[in-house]
Amino acid sequence: MKGKTFLILLVAAGVLVALAAIRLGDKPAGETKMGAKLFADLPVNEVATVIIADTDNQVTLKMGDTVWQVEERSGYPADFGELRDTVVKLSRLKIGRSFTATPESLVRLSLLAPSEKAEKGHGTAITLKDGNGKILADVILGQTRTAEGGGTGGQYLKLADGETVFLVDGDFRFLKTAPEEWLADEILNIKADSVAAVTAYAAGADAPVYTLTRPEKDKAAEMDPVSAGRTVDQTKIDQVLDALAPLNLSDVRRAEGEAPLQGDRLVYRLFDGREITIFPRSDGKETYTLRVVADALPVTPETPETADTVAADADDSETAPVDDKADGEKTPAAQKPPAVMTAQQINDQLGPWIFSVKKWQYDSFIFDPAALLKSVESKDGKTS
């Protein structure tokens, strides 16, 4: 080979190496190997704050003294299961390919930061911090990739301060960004067969509007009073008894500055000796709220599970990391909630809050006794 020809080939090889280095962006080649984990060294169990934002919403999830909380909702408990799954998914992302970002590709793949001034092309930002505020991961999530035959073929993302776009094997298409979507949505979960009686009271009245009483756990509830010529509508009765199984929120706010608890209420007396009062409210439009108060009744032989027993069960809960059985990783710590809350725990945890609920749940708290009755059908098929 002539010396001039060899020199030309050597220069060309150098150009190819330089182009390859440019395509790898700010990551060494070993770190962008196909199939490698993007966040192989992410200390998942040190995560103490997660911030998720798009152009419309932002939610800040923080680890409190015992549970994860939604900062934008005055520290109300967060959905730990959803949070854990999100962080673990991020830690397991594997690289399919990578390339250097350009202004055009950032817009096309929706990889602009939510705060960036632009008409379009914004992604969703997710930031993980430790207890000292140190950033552990800061990512912009962009468009998902459509696989052959439909479905997703991964998602494009970039590090917030990086210049490299990665196509990874997972996707966050359903990642929530609104604070209310991250709330632990279960207020109470009390099965109908745990309810011994339900008593409805109108605002300002001491005498009940009606009472549903179950003499034993396996017996049907009996209603008092029942108007002449009417009989109970068992479907409606069951609706009232099942209203707490479970009772879920759609949003929440602090009750400071609100009027004292009063007005229409339903009192649920449980076989275990607890009494739970629900105060439903409607603004006559599309807003339905309620508050919860609990009490412990004197223990009787018919209430074998006493408040003391329940309290002892609650003390067994502890705050500890949760093992991820898939590969032995540790996930963010969470408090294991007690199986049964005492009346005092219910008041401590639920009393300070006003819960927004869906209309169908609000409608389960029936106050009109006529709505629980139906006309008696005679032998000739006529109703009276």
Cis peptide before 338 (omega within 30 of 0): no
pLDDT (0 to 100) of residue 62? 98
Q: Where are the beta strands (DSSP E) in 11-94?
A: 49-53, 58-63, 68-70, 76-77
239 phi-psi bin (left φ>0, alpha ψ -120 to 50, beta other)? alpha
Nearest to 184 by CA among 68, 339, 58: 68
CA separation for the pair 333, 327 (Å, rounded): 17
pLDDT (0 to 100) of residue 153? 85
Inter-residue contact 357 to 246 (CB < 8 Å): no
Cα-Cα end-to-end distance for the chain:
111
pLDDT (0 to 100) of residue 204? 87
pLDDT (0 to 100) of residue 323? 43
Walk along the chain (384 residues) in steps of 10 and give the mean pLDDT of each run.
40 38 39 82 96 98 96 98 97 96 97 96 98 98 85 90 96 96 97 97 94 92 94 96 97 90 94 97 94 84 42 35 47 57 95 97 97 80 58
pLDDT (0 to 100) of residue 5? 39
Please count the other Cβ atoms lying within 10 Å of the Cβ belonging to residue 194: 19
Residue 322: Cβ-neighbour burial (10 angstroms; 0-12, 13-18, 19+):
middle
pLDDT (0 to 100) of residue 25? 38
β-strand pairing of 222-224 with 210-213:
antiparallel
Q: What's the CA dihedral at 204, 208, 212, 214 to 10 degrees?
A: 110
CA separation for the pair 311, 93 (Å, rounded): 42
pLDDT (0 to 100) of residue 297? 80
pLDDT (0 to 100) of residue 215? 87
CA separation for the pair 156, 139 (Å, rounded): 11
